[in-house]
Amino acid sequence: MSGTVYFATSEMYPFSKSGGLGDVMGALPPALAKMGIPTAVLTPFYGRLRTGEAQIRLAMENLHVGYPWDPTTVDVFATEYKGVTVYFLHRGEYFDRRQYYNEYKGDYFDNAERFIFFTRACFAFIRAQDEPPGIVHAHDWQTALLPAYIHFARPKDAFWRRTRTVTTIHNIAFQGRFSSRLFRGSGLPWEAWSMDGSEFYGDFNFLKSGIAYSDGISTVSPSYAREILTERFGYGLDGILRTREQHLAGILNGADYGIWDPREDRFLPARYSRQDATGKADCKLSLIKSLGLSTHLLDRPLLGFIGRLRDQKGIDLVMDIIPELMERDIGLVVLGEGDLGYERTLVEMSEAYKGKMHAVVAYTEEFAHRIQAASDCFLMPSRYEPCGLTQMYALRYGSLPIATAVGGLRDTIVPHPHPKSTGFIFQEIDSRALLRTILEATALWESNPEIWQDMVHRAMSQAFTWEKSSKQYLELYRQLGYDA
Ligand code: ADP
Ligand code: GLC
């Protein structure tokens, strides 16, 4: 079987992004297209879509979707991006909002309806093409119903007979779990309402539907693929995953070095490379000045943190030890948004420790790049981390990661001491262990600049390319019978 590979996703950089999923969808489809695989992406037409220079055309009007409850239609717009055809599915009442999934008051009340609609619209759009697709590849709970629709359509409709489906789990903690009442409007048949299907402790679970009914399942690092089979990391889905273990692959994400490379980063005041890293000091000075930090921090280690301010990322562990860091004159810059409580405390602490630490509570791409370049160490004390992209970027920017021994962090960082070390890893997930490891790293920074520079050099030489990862995806498709 050959044919187009269709990705269904709720985010795609540069058009939309709230985290790593957006980055992955902006890079994996182009990497496949570069190998000559016909590739398309289906994604919502958000009100806040960043279309930039892209030429967008109307591809299909008033396509009948018919779900969830009323007869409904969708308009489809299209553009070309790095060899990939990107389709934006437009339905204003669902996607013309300020955010993607939630605002301060919490998740949008109709998230189930929004993504039932979106996946039904994807199904209808692909069905309306002349040729059946080779692969339909869903990502996270938002699109996980699509493989289930195809699974149940296959025996009745020859169009789908040769299509194979994949669901990729980027974060198993988010499952799209909704009231059983919503199952009726989903368009899935009653036989899907079972313990081995979409039902989960009496609720309707989107991600579980994808796991149950996809031909292949993958997640974003080899370590996380093992972890989600256990109770500690599986968030209740370890049971069904164990039954499908032979269909589960762990494929490490890549980093898009076209966007994340200090040699050509347009956000940086100075560029640098591993041969000549002098520009990194200019980036540090420039950030220190723009954030109103004391310039004496130029001669002190500067720690960076970038990420969603959620329990997953362990920002609370960082906040616990800020007083100790400040006492020791270690600088800290945080960029993130998320839980209101964390945001507030970080802002208060920035006031209390003015000059030594600063928290930027916002979503700003420019600062994400500038913090990577300016910092000496990058903090990633995640409680779990399916892959993590920020530590890969940090390595390339010569900011040595200090991270927990979980998921993709274990798969991308070689911990000190080791002849090939690129960062620091700690085992117990608590603030004492984090502090100990930071102090170990900063002591090395202070006492042994040669060893430090060697580590920086090795870190900057790491290459987690999409070329490598996309080949593994193609291999997975081939195992399912795809022969591009
Ligand atoms: P996750 O997907 O769990 O949030 P990743 O490390 O895979 O974590 O990817 C996070 C992505 O989101 C990175 O590109 C990071 O730079 C970006 N990011 C996170 N928070 C912010 C923010 N406040 N401002 C700008 N970019 C951010
Ligand atoms: C998720 C995970 C993160 C991963 C990203 C992209 O948001 O939390 O670890 O890197 O997806 O796969």
CATH at residue 49: 3.40.50.2000
Dig out the tokens for 190 from the structure.
């009653």
- Distance, in Å, from the CA atom of 459 to the CA atom of 223, rounded to the nearest integer, reads 20
Q: What is the pLDDT of residue 68?
A: 78
Are both 194 and 301 inside the same structural domain? no
Are both 108 and 249 inside the same structural domain? yes
Tell me which ligand sits closest to the C-alpha of residue 25: 2
Are both 196 and 302 inside the same structural domain? no
Is the peptide bond preceding residue 262 cis, with omega within 30 degrees of 0? no
Q: Whose CA is nearest to atom 5 of ligand 2?
A: 20
Chain centroid to Cα 51, Å, comes to 20
Are both 70 and 176 inside the same structural domain? yes
Largest CA distance in the chain: 71
- 309-328 pLDDT per residue, tens: 999 999 999 999 999 999 99
Q: What is the pLDDT of residue 70?
A: 77
262 within some domain:
no
Residue written as token pair 């791409």: 365
Best mutation site among 139, 140, 306 for ligand 1 pocket (most ligand atoms within 8 Å of CB): 306
Best mutation site among 308, 311, 337, 375 for ligand 1 pocket (most ligand atoms within 8 Å of CB): 308
How many A from CA of 297 to the centre of ligand 2? 32
Sheet holding 135-139: strands in order across?
57-64, 73-81, 84-90, 39-44, 5-8, 135-139, 164-169, 216-219, 248-250
- 360 beta partners: 335
Are both 442 and 471 inside the same structural domain? no
- 52-89 pLDDT per residue, tens: 888 999 999 999 998 877 779 999 999 999 999 999 99
333 within some domain:
yes
How many A from CA of 130 to the centre of ligand 2? 34
Q: What is the residue type of 182?
A: L
How many A from CA of 122 to the centre of ligand 2? 23
Are both 186 and 288 inside the same structural domain? no
- Distance, in Å, from the CA atom of 357 to the CA atom of 180, rounded to the nearest integer, reads 47
Whether ligand 2 lies within 6 angstroms of the CB of 29 is answered as no
Are both 236 and 285 inside the same structural domain? no
414 backbone dihedrals φ, ψ, rounded to 5°: -100, 115
For residues 91 and 150, the answer to whether their CB atoms sit within 8 Å is no
484 within some domain:
no
Residues 6+ apart with CB under 8 A from 12: 22, 25, 26, 41, 43, 86
Rounding to the nearest 10 degrees, give the CA dihedral for residues 90, 94, 95, 98.
160
Q: Whose CA is nearest to atom 1 of ligand 2?
A: 170
Q: Whose CA is nearest to atom 14 of ligand 1?
A: 20
**Measured from the CA of 387, which atom of ligand 1 is nearest?**
7
Task: Note down the domain range covering 290.
Answer: 279-461
**225: left (phi > 0), else alpha (psi -120 to 50), else beta?**
alpha
For residues 65 and 114, the answer to whether their CB atoms sit within 8 Å is no
- 250 beta partners: 219
268 within some domain:
no
What percent of the chain lies above the pLDDT cut of 90? 95
For residues 181 and 205, the answer to whether their CB atoms sit within 8 Å is no
**How large is the average pLDDT for residues 357-370?**
97
265 within some domain:
no
Q: What is the pLDDT of residue 302?
A: 98
Tell me which ligand sits closest to the C-alpha of residue 409: 2
Dig out the tokens for 83 from the structure.
């060899």
How many A from CA of 47 to the centre of ligand 2? 24
Chain centroid to Cα 83, Å, comes to 22
58 within some domain:
yes
Tell me which ligand sits closest to the C-alpha of residue 391: 1
Whether ligand 2 lies within 6 angstroms of the CB of 388 is answered as yes
**How large is the average pLDDT for residues 457-473?**
98
pTM score, two decimals?
A: 0.98
**Measured from the CA of 19, which atom of ligand 2 is nearest?**
7
Count CB-CB contacts under 10 A for residue 99.
13
Total residues found in the chain within this entry: 484
Where residue 51 falls among pLDDT bands split at 50, 70, 90?
Answer: confident
Are both 247 and 339 inside the same structural domain? no
Dig out the tokens for 88 from the structure.
């934006």
**Measured from the CA of 335, which atom of ligand 1 is nearest?**
23
- Taking CB atoms and a 6 Å cutoff, what residues make up the pocket around ligand 1? 19-20, 23, 306-308, 335-337, 363-365, 368, 387-390
How many A from CA of 253 to the centre of ligand 2? 9
- 406-432 pLDDT per residue, tens: 999 999 999 999 999 999 999 999 999
Q: What is the pLDDT of residue 274?
A: 96
Q: What is the pLDDT of residue 402?
A: 99
- 99-130 pLDDT per residue, tens: 999 987 789 999 999 999 999 999 999 999 99
259 within some domain:
no
Tell me which ligand sits closest to the C-alpha of residue 390: 1
267 within some domain:
no
Q: What is the pLDDT of residue 234?
A: 98
**How large is the average pLDDT for residues 8-31?**
97
Where residue 272 falls among pLDDT bands split at 50, 70, 90?
Answer: very high
- The domain total for the chain is 2
Residue written as token pair 């289906």: 42
- 171-180 pLDDT per residue, tens: 999 999 999 9
Are both 111 and 217 inside the same structural domain? yes
Dig out the tokens for 139 from the structure.
């990502």
pLDDT higher than 80, residue 165: yes
> Residues 209, 214, 218, 224: is their CA dihedral positive or negative?
positive
**How large is the average pLDDT for residues 378-384?**
98
- Distance, in Å, from the CA atom of 103 to the CA atom of 89, rounded to the nearest integer, reads 22
Best mutation site among 28, 137, 141, 170 for ligand 2 pocket (most ligand atoms within 8 Å of CB): 170
Are both 284 and 226 inside the same structural domain? no
Are both 174 and 101 inside the same structural domain? yes
**Measured from the CA of 336, which atom of ligand 1 is nearest?**
23
Whether ligand 2 lies within 6 angstroms of the CB of 27 is answered as no
Are both 103 and 244 inside the same structural domain? yes
- 404 beta partners: 426
